[in-house]
Chain A
Amino acid sequence: MPPSLGHAGSSSSSSLVHLLSPLPLSTSYSLPLLSPTLSPSSLLLSPPPISYYLLQHYVQTPYIISVWLLLASLAKILFHLSQRFTTVVPESCMLILLGLVLGGVVLLAHEKQLYQLEPGLFFLFLLPTIVGDAGYFMPSRLFFDNLGAITLYAVVGTLWNAFCTAFCLYGVKLLGVIDEKVDAGLMDFLLFGALISAVDPVAVIAVFEEVHVNDTLFIIVFGESLLNDAVTVVLYKVYMSFVEVGPANVGTAECMKGLVSFLVVSLGGTLVGLVFAVILSFTTRFTKKVRIIEPLFVFLLVYLAYLTAELCSLSAILSMTFCGIGANKYVEANISQKSRTTVKYTMKTLASIAETIIFIFLGISAMDKTKWAWDTGLVACTLVFILLFRAMGVIGQTWVLNRFRLVPLDRIDQVVMSYGGLRGAVAFALVVLLDGEKVKAKDYFVATTIVVVFFTVMFQGLTIKPLVKWLKVPRSTNRKPTINEEIHERAFDHILTAVEDIAGLQGYHHWRDKWEQFDKKYLSKLLLRKSVYQKSELWEAYQKINMRDAISVIDQGGNVLTSRLSLPSMASRSSFPEVTNVTNYLRENGSGVCLDLQVIDNVPGARVEEDSETHHFLTGNLYKPRRRYQSHYSRHFMPAGEQERQEREVFQRNMRSRMENFKTSRHKRHKKDRSQKKVFLLYLRLGSQGVGVEGNYLPKSTALEACDSPSMASPTCGERFLPWKVGAGSLPPCVSVEATKVIPVDLQQAWNQSISSLESISSPLNLNPNPRVTALSPSSVIPNPNLRFMALPPPTLNPNSNLRVVALPPPALNPNPRFSVLSRLAGQRPVSSPPCSFSQSEKEQQKEEEEALSEQQQEEQPLMSVRPPAPPLSSTPGERRRNPCVYLRSLVTVPPAGNTETHSRGPTQL
């Protein structure tokens, strides 16, 4: 079998140009610059300089590609303008229709179809983006849970479809139903059967992701569409070689060769994929210093897996799928959160646009009468056979499978699976690749394939949704596991493994457990960063859930614990990292989110039109959107990386300090649990405000800036738009009534805790915290009127008014008094005379600054020390740096509005 028959083996390098070079410009005369047929003679005849043309020509191909991409994207926008429409009609249908229209226009203008879905372009660029996305984000547990079923359907099912369709078509041909013009023998039909029988991943993804059937059903159809590639490739190649040598020369030897090559292609493809998965995972172990290109490794190596397999004429789709599945776990653990997001959205964007292009071009390609040769008998028979044999195959295989499956696939599942056997662009690209010289009936096959593809994608795609509804197929709920589910399901796994062991069964759980042991002992050790390897999976899951909650807190306007919605829209992604640390605080303080719920309940968060307002409100309040670090640009440096570390650091430190508190008060814990929670609410409030400030301020802000920052002094968007922020008697979102009510119960301890927690944020790791503890010990803080104010709201006083004052200094506030307060709070450290307790800390910090270059150390270092050293406060704007301690104190003691006391208050607490 000549390997050159690989399905991307055509002149792929030039296919891009092939596809796009002819322009649909009917008046090439008026626009000679863009004419693709620039011959030297025409250059000689036309007066402008040659370079002018060359330049234009040079731009042409990418220009056209970009315009096509833009067109496709715009088309997507258009379809989604009407929400009702898109729920009924799948996008793929609309895209094909659009393609048909565009193709029709071109055809009318040119009398010749200029555009085609070129197999080379399709197999080299469009398909890998979709398969890469599918493989990388494949739910691996689900996939392997159903691997047996998937493989059976992919191999046996596809073979069954291919042979039955081919033989029946041949039989029908002999009976004379198919016209005599169709010059095809058994081999041709076998070839056609092979390419038409495979369920297409592109079509399945496009249709099924809108249908939301339950996970098992989806993974079986989807997995089948990916894994059947090996079968298709082998059958296609084998028959191609048969067609070439002539049917007479085909013997058992050739058939055996076919069988062997199936094993080689499928297992080899899988192996290549896994090898690349290992390489990819291993590479991401060392990308810490090159975070910015971290995502690139993922794309490159996954794509290389595809190309390598293609090069060796192995199954490229299998290779890419398994590379994605295999690497996902380790890569996701190794790369940073930002890279994870980048990978995710880049992949999704690419896959989505590739899918759009494929469907549009399918439509356009259909409008090419030169390639068509219609035979009603062939088309009708093919359609009937495809549907029939798919259904029969599914029913037969399911019957076998159900004898082994824990959860049998019932009738309804079988109907959906039969009906979901969509054919798509792969079949089309393969049929276009056929050699018209050898396969005489190519044109008939092309027409039939187009009809089949359109029928399955459009008709079945359109009707599968109502069908699923009508059959009441269990739908998937687009929800993520809660922490309880994470934990308990892990426990379930252990239980099942143990029970299998006790019952003496070497079942699935037994082997899964064996694999996990192996993974833990060797693979993870090799492929995971040390720091990640040390972490527990459960902890990772926990953090992931925290992150997710963080996003939904922001997006939903609060009630995270009661409603778990799917991941938020992309729009809010910009605020993702800043938000995280806020919610870490919320989380970390126990009932933090409940508190939020209580406060922000006023927001009808679910409603779409208010979402953005809520978002603005929260971003305005939870962190301060001053981003000085954005002003400087660097390709190799992402300041947010520091922030991430800081977030982690803050999170862990607070966790630690909180645990210390728990430990010290362990004997009282049970009694005080409730009150402590409440107490934390207050701290939380301070904290959440503070963290917000810190998240954005830390890098380069100064005390001065903090004071006149818009978020503190002027109302934010949310303040302007949200009713309770405007209303005089309403509750400020930053402090809840409940919190203030309960705080007096445990005041002293509350202060100890909140102060020490704040302290732990600010204090560098090796620093003796004592000086600062004395500086901010509860007793010494009490003199500060503001603090007492917040901590001990007199019962007679209306808490609302006080608290609002605390939380929201009116815009008219003169920044200076606060600045003076800050500097005083910071241990009276003007330029000239820093107190000794702080000079020590500063020295310490300076030292740490110098060492900060080492990445490892930065991780070890406390939150603040990664910033540039804090020079003495000066009025030079360029040198505005602030000591974190100063800054943190400002959090504790945000002065009430216009409180003149702040001026007179001496630094007694120091």
Chain B
Amino acid sequence: MGSRASTLLREEEIEEIKKETGFSHSQITRLYSRFSSLDKGENGTLSREDFQRIPELAINPLGDRIINAFFPESEDQVNFRGFMRTLAHFRPIEDNEKNKDHTASEPLNSRTNKLLFAFRLYDLDRDDKISRDELLQVLRMMVGVNISDEQLGSIADRTIQEADQNGDSSISFNEFIKVLEKVDVEQKMSIRFLH
């Protein structure tokens, strides 16, 4: 599937991506030029270093986690298709998609998939549970140094306690969905990609 070393995107590839991700033609070409500009090695794939070169990402507290989310397990390269697949999570849900019957496979930008993306950022060991330590790590990233371990610990305890339903002192994905069910995830996990 790769667009290896080719600087131009083939038409059928665009069609495939369009079908898979729901991005429009112009969005795909626009993002492809972005992809190419990030791709310093010019080999059609992005490595972690390519991402880390984005200056704003370096100061993003969750930057590393988000970069990791772009890479499939045990791989350190991502091609344009994978890149787009990840970005598709953040496509806003459009009106005509809302009413679509769910017989087809769930679109990447569905509520569940958006939440799953966020969940995976916490769930480092991929056991489908956010343990206290995992939560603490993310909290630590987000709050900086001003807050003490004890305080952070109590926040983590409280968080888990609030979300935990089956009493295993960790947050499963279902519990994660449940605890955020009142949040307008569709809006808060979407960005406007330029047309």
Contact = CB atoms under 8 A, between A and B. Distances in A.
Interface of A: 404-408, 410, 477, 479, 482-485, 487-492, 494-505, 507-510, 513, 517, 534-539, 542, 545, 561, 587-588, 590-591, 652, 655-656, 658-659, 662, 670, 673-674
A538 B147 contact: yes
A496 B90 contact: yes
B150 A487 contact: no
B191 A500 contact: yes
Contacts of B139: 487, 538
Interface in B49-87: 51, 54, 56-57, 59-63, 66, 70, 87
B142 A494 contact: yes
Given A495-B121, A535-B147, 9 more contacts: A404-B192, A405-B192, A406-B190, A408-B95, A485-B182, A491-B121, A502-B38, A513-B56, A537-B143
Nearest to B147: A536
25 contacts: A406-B190, A407-B186, A487-B159, A489-B188, A490-B142, A496-B190, A497-B60, A498-B57, A498-B62, A501-B56, A503-B34, A503-B191, A504-B31, A505-B194, A513-B56, A536-B147, A536-B151, A542-B155, A561-B161, A652-B151, A655-B151, A658-B150, A659-B149, A659-B150, A674-B167
Given A485-B182, A536-B147, A538-B139, A499 B155 contact: no
A590 B157 contact: yes
A509 B188 CA distance: 11
Contacts of A517: 59
A32 to B, nearest CB: 65
Interface in B144-195: 144, 146-147, 149-151, 153-155, 157-159, 161-163, 167, 169, 176, 179-180, 182-183, 185-194
B138 interface: yes
A509 B57 CA distance: 13
A517 B138 CA distance: 19
B187 A495 contact: no
A136 B24 CA distance: 42
A662 B153 contact: yes
A655 B154 contact: yes
A656 B150 contact: yes
B90 A536 contact: no
Main secondary structure of the interface of B (DSSP, over half): helix
A652 B154 CA distance: 10
A770 B170 CA distance: 37
A200 B9 CA distance: 54
B143 A502 contact: no
Contacts of B182: 477, 479, 485
A545 B159 CA distance: 11
A490 B31 CA distance: 26
Contacts of A484: 159, 162-163, 179-180
A538 B145 CA distance: 12
B144 A482 contact: no
B14 interface: no
A141 to B, nearest CB: 11
A242 to B, nearest CB: 42
A485 B179 CA distance: 8
A491 B191 contact: no
A494 B179 contact: no
A473 to B, nearest CB: 15
Most buried by B among A495, A505, A537, A659: A495
A564 to B, nearest CB: 9
Nearest to A479: B182
Given A483-B162, A488-B183, A495-B121, A673 B155 contact: no
A499 B87 contact: yes
A538 B56 contact: no
B107 interface: no
B69 to A, nearest CB: 9
A501 B60 CA distance: 10
B118 interface: yes
A498 B146 contact: no
A674 B166 CA distance: 12
Interface in B12-60: 31, 34, 37-38, 51, 54, 56-57, 59-60
Given A502-B57, A656-B150, A485 B189 contact: no
A400 to B, nearest CB: 15
B51 A502 contact: yes
A591 B31 CA distance: 48
Contacts of B51: 502
Nearest to B188: A492
Contacts of A479: 182
B150 A509 contact: no
B117 A502 contact: no
A501 B54 contact: yes
B142 A509 contact: no
A507 B193 CA distance: 9
Nearest to B114: A492
A542 B158 contact: yes
Contacts of A652: 150-151
Nearest to B31: A503
A410 B51 CA distance: 37
B34 to A, nearest CB: 4
A483 B121 contact: no
A498 B34 contact: no
Contact of A497 (B56, B149, B150, B185): B56
A406 B192 contact: yes
Nearest to B161: A590
Given A406-B190, A505-B193, A482 B154 contact: no
Contacts of A488: 118, 176, 179-180, 183
B60 A498 contact: yes
Report which residue of B63, B163, B189 has the largest number of chain A beta carbons within 10 angstroms of its beta carbon: B189
B37 to A, nearest CB: 7
A351 to B, nearest CB: 28
B118 A495 contact: yes
A29 to B, nearest CB: 66
Contact of B66 (A498, A504, A509, A659): A498
A706 to B, nearest CB: 30
Contact of B37 (A477, A504, A505, A507): A504
Contacts of B188: 489, 492, 496
Nearest to B187: A407
A482 B158 CA distance: 10
Of all A-B residue pairs in the complex, the 8 with the closest CB atoms, nearest first, are A659-B150, A504-B34, A536-B147, A501-B56, A498-B66, A494-B62, A536-B143, A484-B179
A503 B89 CA distance: 12
A534 B146 contact: yes
Interface string B79-118: 0000000010010100100000000000000000000011
Contacts of A588: 154
B178 to A, nearest CB: 10
B118 A491 contact: yes
A409 B95 CA distance: 11
Given A488-B118, A494-B142, A509-B191, A483 B90 contact: no
A641 to B, nearest CB: 23
Contacts of B70: 502
A593 to B, nearest CB: 9
